């Protein structure tokens, strides 16, 4: 009975972890912990012969819960059996030849082309039913819009986001809690957006790993030859090596050596028999196909001592625990810190300062604590916020225990809020780093956002501050003065409303006619009518404007600000509707390329990152340069405009 009870516990625990991971883009346990519990469940099922209907060993993923259209797959998309032993890979391959490739860590997508054009894209979903994301697939960075093949073509691949883009996007997010945990989470959210403008900005790439069918074409019996054919049609394919029993161990080592240089995230390798007929003849289990197998890296671990637990407050009040341990070498680098995520994980590890712990890099990249060898359980969450001294609170949401500072005026929250307000996409005030803001808050110069516009009274004191002088102080005050003329979307974004990004701020302001009072009075029901605005976002806006303190802050800020008239209000038509632009090089008539992009979008146009057959205009002040984009535009006979020519074009359109 104990084993049956343990099976029930494991099924519930693993299913909850999968639900959080696949549906809510959050992690309640590491991949390592999930694999260990999964293996324990599989062993118990084999030993007892008892398999529950909801067991994760019997199904793939969860039912999709989203607003995207759902579609069943023609054949189930099974997951792969796995091993961590290179020798087991060699034994599995036997005397056959196989293709060894990266197991990319993103979102699996089934792509269909008809008459040479992208027809449909569907996520893997739960393996039986996926979500239709065709509109988003159209803006994948490297997915062909058209291919030289007229019959119906179906292929599978992985949508991924590069580490470099992941870091860039996370660096732009001030709120620590809102930062993405890893590229897979970011990719999942990006691919499943309702607004493909957001997808386009995230730089999603697609790599084909399987040709499913090609109407009217006699396909090769070789996986490699079919992949090469897909490559000839313009698809990027997953990097691979052909291997046999004598070369596979060296190939695994070669892949391992390239992990730290690989900008695309992976969580292992995939080995498939090159002989398609042979692989298909092996059939499949209820969960795994027998023609392929996954290889997961055996993580390099190091034993060390937990020296300190650092508690880092964020703008939303969440206090994040961070393990500080004696430095160790892992995967060629020295590490001494690892996020512990929340109190539930710390409880599970029974952590205490002085404990002997094991650490590793998840997928050879992200430091994690894997095991606590001494389990003293001696950690104590701080009873007072490290930033402001307010008594902390322990909260439990979705069975996850976290530590919060409830003080709405916490100095950590204040610093993050001010930093967000002055950021480039908000009020664009230069010269105020978090360190400078902290000093100004500590000195009493700043308490509320509107105090920024009265900083001039402290001019003499600011000049004396470290890092400042007459010129830098004057530049700061000039930047603050310039920020007083802004746009309503920038202001709304700058307020730091929970869940409101720059794109959502634009959607809200546009829907309510750039009338702040209308937005402030809008109900949740009014806001959810806007495409791209859900109940969570709408409730955040409503909660913010219902707060009396926030109302006072907004009222006082408005006394200092003037909002630029938006194009729709000044009677300009959507004269650029249906037109696609690419911007390159430096700009002179706009603050930056982002401002030029916003101008084009306000007139109904679209801005993309690369020149293609779908581009109508390339904007480049150096229209005679030999840049890649200029060359591509000339090849495709796409007009290249200077800024002045662009401005003349839209001014002519007003007449």
Annotated binding site for Zn(2+): 385, 388, 405, 410
Q: Give the Cα separation of 265 and 393 in Å (integer).
A: 36
Cα–Cα distance measured from residue 181 to residue 183, given in angstroms and rounded to the nearest whole number: 7
Contact criterion met (CB below 8 Å) for 606 and 591: no
Strand-pairing partners, residue 111, are 121, 155
CA gap 207, 231 in Å, rounded: 10
* φ, ψ (nearest 5 deg) of residue 216: 85, 0
Residue 120's CB: how many other CB atoms inside 10 A?
15
- Residue 482 contacts by C-beta under 8 Å, 6 or more apart in sequence? none
Residues β-bridged to residue 112: 120, 154
Tokens of 302: 């190091």
Which residues are part of a known binding site? 79-80, 124, 158, 296, 385, 388, 405, 410
End-to-end CA distance of the chain: 82
β-bridge mates for residue 122, sequence order: 110, 132
Token pair belonging to 516? 């702040």
Residue owning tokens 């396909």:
219
Question: 262 is written with which tokens?
Answer: 């690989």
Tokens of 123: 């996520």
User: β-strands 356-362, 366-372: how paired?
Assistant: antiparallel
Distance of alpha carbon 558 from the chain centroid? 34
132 by Cβ neighbours in 10 Å (0-12 / 13-18 / 19+) ranks as middle
**Residue 301 Cα distances to 31, 345, 360, 553, angstroms:** 15, 19, 5, 50
3-class secondary structure, 643: helix
For this structure, is 8 an active site residue? no
Give me the residue label for tokens 């792969």.
80
| Cα–Cα distance measured from residue 307 to residue 153, given in angstroms and rounded to the nearest whole number | 57
CA distance 125 to 340: 29
What are the φ and ψ backbone dihedral angles of 53, each rounded to 5 degrees? Answer: -60, -30
**In 215-300, where do the E strands start and end?**
240-243, 266-273, 292-295
Strand ranges (DSSP E) for 222-332?
240-243, 266-273, 292-295, 301-313, 318-330
* Among candidate residues 520, 534, 223, 182, the one with its CA nearest the CA of residue 362: 182
Looking up tokens 């890092």 gives 467
Using CA atoms in the order 29, 31, 33, 37, what is the torsion angle rounded to 10 degrees? 110
Active-site choice (84, 103, 181, 556): 103
Name the binding residues for NAD(+).
79-80, 124, 158, 296
Structure token digits, residue 114:
């008809």
List the structure tokens of 331: 């995967």
Strands (E) in 179-317, as ranges, are: 204-214, 240-243, 266-273, 292-295, 301-313
SS3 at position 425? coil
Q: Nearest CA to 325 among 333, 315, 335? A: 335
CB 7 within 8 A of CB 52: yes
Q: Are 572 and 654 in contact (CB under 8 A)?
A: yes
Catalytically active residues are 103
């Amino acid at each position: 009975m104990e084993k049956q009870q343990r099976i029930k516990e494991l099924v519930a625990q693993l299913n909850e972890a999968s639900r959080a991971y696949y549906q809510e883009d959050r992690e309640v346990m590491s991949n390592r912990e999930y694999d260990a519990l999964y293996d324990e469940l599989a062993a118990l099922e084999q030993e007892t012969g008892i398999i529950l209907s909801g067991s994760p060993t019997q199904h793939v993923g969860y039912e999709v819960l989203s607003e995207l259209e759902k579609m069943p797959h023609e054949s189930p998309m099974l997951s792969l059996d796995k091993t961590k032993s290179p020798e087991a890979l060699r034994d599995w391959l036997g005397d056959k030849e196989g293709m060894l490739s990266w197991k990319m860590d993103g979102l699996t997508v089934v792509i269909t082309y008809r008459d040479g054009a992208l027809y449909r894209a569907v996520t893997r979903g739960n393996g039986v039913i996926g979500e239709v994301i065709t509109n988003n697939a159209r803006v994948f960075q490297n997915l062909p819009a058209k291919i030289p093949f007229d019959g119906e073509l179906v292929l599978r691949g992985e949508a991924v986001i590069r580490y470099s883009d992941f870091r860039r996007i996370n660096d732009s997010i001030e709120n620590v809690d809102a930062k993405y945990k890893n590229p897979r989470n970011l990719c999942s959210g990006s691919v499943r957006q309702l607004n493909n403008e957001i997808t386009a900005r995230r730089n999603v790439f697609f790599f084909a790993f399987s040709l499913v069918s090609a109407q009217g074409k006699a396909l090769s019996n070789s996986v490699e030859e079919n992949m090469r054919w897909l490559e000839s049609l313009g698809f990027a394919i997953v990097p691979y090596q052909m291997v046999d029993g004598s070369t596979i161990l060296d190939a695994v080592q070669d892949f391992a050596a390239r992990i730290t240089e690989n900008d695309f995230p992976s969580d292992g390798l995939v080995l498939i028999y090159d002989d398609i007929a042979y692989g298909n003849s092996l059939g499949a289990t209820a969960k795994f196909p027998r023609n392929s197998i996954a290889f997961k890296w055996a993580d390099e671990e190091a034993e060390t001592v937990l020296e300190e637990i650092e508690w880092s407050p964020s703008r939303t009040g969440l206090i994040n625990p961070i393990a500080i341990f004696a430095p160790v070498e892992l995967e060629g680098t020295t590490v001494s810190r690892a996020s512990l995520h929340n109190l539930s994980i710390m409880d599970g590890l029974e952590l205490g300062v002085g404990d002997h712990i094991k650490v590793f890099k998840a997928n050879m990249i992200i430091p994690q604590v894997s095991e606590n060898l001494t389990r003293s359980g001696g950690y104590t969450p701080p009873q007072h916020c490290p930033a402001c001294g307010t008594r902390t609170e322990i909260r439990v949401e979705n069975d996850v225990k976290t530590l919060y500072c409830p003080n709405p005026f916490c100095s950590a929250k204040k610093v993050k809020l001010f930093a967000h307000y002055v950021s480039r996409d908000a009020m664009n005030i230069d010269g105020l780093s978090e360190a400078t803001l902290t000093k100004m808050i500590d000195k009493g110069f700043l308490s509320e956002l509107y105090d920024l516009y009265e900083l001039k009274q402290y001019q003499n004191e600011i000049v004396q501050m470290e890092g400042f002088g007459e010129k830098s102080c004057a530049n700061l005050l000039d930047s603050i003065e310039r920020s007083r003329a802004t746009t309503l979307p920038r202001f709304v974004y700058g307020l730091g409303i929970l869940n409101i990004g720059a794109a959502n701020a634009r959607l809200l302001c546009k829907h309510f006619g750039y009338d702040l009072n209308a937005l402030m009075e809008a109900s949740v029901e009014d806001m959810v009518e806007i495409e791209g605005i859900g109940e969570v976002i709408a409730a955040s806006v409503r909660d913010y404007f219902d707060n009396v303190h926030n109302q006072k802050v907004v009222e006082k800020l408005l006394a200092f600000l003037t909002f630029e008239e938006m194009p729709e209000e000044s009677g300009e038509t959507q004269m650029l509707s249906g037109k696609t632009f690419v911007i390159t090089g430096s700009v002179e008539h706009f603050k930056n390329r982002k401002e030029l992009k916003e101008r084009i979008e306000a007139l109904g146009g679209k801005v993309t990152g690369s020149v293609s057959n779908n581009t109508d205009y390339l904007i480049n002040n150096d229209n005679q340069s030999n840049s890649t984009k200029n060359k591509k535009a000339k090849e495709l006979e796409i007009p290249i405009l200077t800024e002045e020519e662009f401005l003349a074009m839209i001014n002519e359109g007003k007449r």
